[in-house]
Copies of this chain bind each other. A is one copy, B any other.
Amino acid sequence: MSKDHKVFLSEKDMPRQWYNLAADLPTPPQPPLGPDGNPIGPEMLAPVFPMNLIEQEVSTERWIDIPEGVLEMLYRWRPTPLHRAYHLEKALGTPARIYYKNESVSPAGSHKPNTAVAQAWYNKEFGIKKLTTETGAGQWGSALAFACSLVGIECKVYMVRVSFDQKPFRKMLMAAYGAECVASPSPETKAGQDILAKYPDTPGSLGIAISEAIEAAVTDPSGESRYSLGSVLNHVILHQTIIGQEVKKQLEIFGERTPDTIIGCAGGGSNFAGIAFPFVADKIHGADIDIIPVEPASCPTLTRAPFSYDHGDVACMTPLLPMYSLGHEFIPPPIHAGGLRYHGMSPLVSAAAVEGLLNPRSIHQLECYESAILFAKTEGILVAPETSHAVAATIQEAKKAKEEGKEKVIVFNLSGHGMMDLVGYDKFLNGELTDYALPEEEITKYTDPLKNFPQPSTAKSGKW
């Protein structure tokens, strides 16, 4: 049993396969639906994604090999360390043993490059010359810019306006990697023009930016552009599962058996699924693990939205996906955790929640910032505002363990650092932030129309 503060793995111990939860879910996941309400075929996605990634999207294989070319890129920073949070434990006086997986050591400062390098590599293999994408806080945009520069293809990023304005450094980082970044909604696409006409002062949202990026990809006359998504979809979730696989090996080196609690913040769901899904598999096979996705109280997808079919974007360009959704027209308040401002939730994460495998929780932003400051002053790392939700839930669980006198093992995903997200901290420290209690009618306004879509429980399950 290691008494170290952190455990590294060598490159030979890095996972060689991605884990696909679709193979293990008790009920097979339900398919995306086309405009006619019928399951879509993979070929319908071909204008948007390269076929090699579509194959991953629809796969029900349990394990999918990671190509050598992708490993080669992941080696630049992976495996990432798993830390024991001795100093936070001490500050809380908790009997819990707290561990955190440090994804902030990647060149882009978050977990996002795990899938960015894979997606860039598969697109390049397929002959694609340019990727378009959206970004919220900018972590995904800079990760894809980084990945595209490594494989040598172009990158264009539509960045949610509120983040574009608040976080100018992220767009400079994308530029340094050679990518182009514009504020969304932009006047460059029809989707952007429509929204700007309707809401000229909109802060933007991930849903809008996704519409713009998809439109830009599918309307490129060369046919050599595709779209890339940083979360939500099955193949993206898949690429993140190396996180949880590494955690298992590292917990073993620390001398721990099955952890009691796994925590990750959840916006689209990818960093949460990345750490959680290998443990969800254990839970399906009988392990007793509390698995907690944490979302902002102002964008409470898993905790307050219905499980429904909905579009992934505002302009309804994506197929209908079976997911918890606040409605594709819901525009979350401009909280600083931009990466969590998404109306939907990964269909795979949603399916796991429907199965009762997850224990979702929402937390208000002031508690999150306060928790993050305590974490910085004890463990030293200033986390991203998104990650602060995982820190807050971890502290809640550690306090509960203290009350109950239980020696719990809690693991959370430190999905990114906050070095480029300091405006939110500044406002918090200056007392300029408040919590926002989202009224029920603001939710039903956008979720009621979802009743007009086919309902997931009635849709045919099975093959695409």
Which residues of A are interface residues toward B (Cβ below 8 A)?
Answer: 4-6, 8, 10-12, 75-77, 83, 87, 105, 107, 109, 146, 149-150, 169, 172-173, 175-178, 373, 376-382, 418-420, 422-423, 425-426, 429
Choose from B87, B150, B420 the contact partner of A169 (Cβ within 8 Å). Answer: B420
- Given A176-B376, A177-B377, 18 more contacts at CB 8 Å? A6-B75, A76-B380, A87-B150, A105-B105, A107-B380, A149-B376, A169-B169, A172-B422, A172-B425, A173-B382, A173-B419, A175-B425, A175-B426, A176-B382, A176-B422, A177-B382, A419-B419, A420-B420
How many copies of this chain? 2
User: What are the residues of chain B within 8 A of A419 when measuring CB–CB?
Assistant: 109, 169, 173, 419-420
Of the residues B173, B373, B378, contact of A176 by C-beta under 8 Å: B373
Instruction: Report A289 CB to chain B, min CB distance, Å.
Output: 27
Contacts of A380 in B (CB 8 A): 76-77, 107, 146, 150
Chain B residues whose C-beta falls within 8 Å of the C-beta of A146 in the assembled complex = 376, 380
Min Cβ gap A138→B in Å is 11
Closest Cβ of chain B to A282, distance in Å, is: 27
Instruction: Please state if A150 and B4 are interface contacts (CB–CB under 8 Å).
Output: no
In the complex, how many angstroms separate the beta carbon of A88 from the nearest chain B beta carbon? 11
Residues of B within 8 A of A75 (CB): 4-6
Q: Can you list 5 A-B contacts with CB-CB less than 8 angstroms, sorted by A residue number?
A: A169-B419, A172-B423, A173-B422, A176-B376, A176-B422
Query: Which residue of chain B lies nearest to A81 when distances are taken between CB atoms in the complex?
Result: B8
Alpha-carbon separation in the docked complex, A378 to B173 (Å): 15
CB of B5 within 8 A of CB of A429, answer no
CA distance A161 to B12 in the complex (A): 48
Q: Is the CB of A422 within 8 A of B169?
A: yes
Q: A11-B5, A176-B373, A373-B176 are in contact. Are A379 and B76 (CB under 8 A)?
A: yes
Say whether, besides A10-B4, A380-B77, A419-B419, A429 and B175 are in contact (CB < 8 Å): yes
* B5 A8 Cβ-Cβ under 8 A: no
Please give me the residue from chain B that is nearest to A105 by CB atom.
Answer: B105
Measured CB to CB, the closest approach of chain B to A463, in angstroms, equals 39
Beta-carbon contact of B107 and A425 below 8 Å: no
CA distance A423 to B420 in the complex (A): 12
**In whole angstroms, what is the CA distance A254 to B373 when docked?**
39
How far, in Å, is A100 (CB) from chain B's closest CB?
11
Would you call B8 and A4 a contact (CB within 8 A)?
no
Residues of B within 8 A of A176 (CB): 373, 376, 382, 418, 422, 425, 429
Q: Chain B residues near A10 (CB, 8 Å)?
A: 4, 8
> What residues on B are CB-neighbors of A83 within 8 Å?
76
Contact (Cβ within 8 A) B172 A426: yes
Q: Cα distance A293–B360 when bound, in Å?
A: 53
Chain B residues lying within 8 Å of A378, measured Cβ to Cβ, are: 150
- Residue on B with the closest CB to A4? B11
Q: What's the Cα separation between A6 and B12 when bound, in Å?
A: 11
Q: Give complex CA distance A146, B422 in Å.
A: 15
- Inter-subunit contact A382/B425 (CB<8 Å): no
Q: Who on chain B is nearest to A10 by CB?
A: B4
Q: Are B382 and A149 in contact (CB under 8 A)?
A: no
Distance in angstroms between the alpha carbons of A169 and B107 in the assembled complex: 19
Contacts of A381 in B (CB 8 A): 107
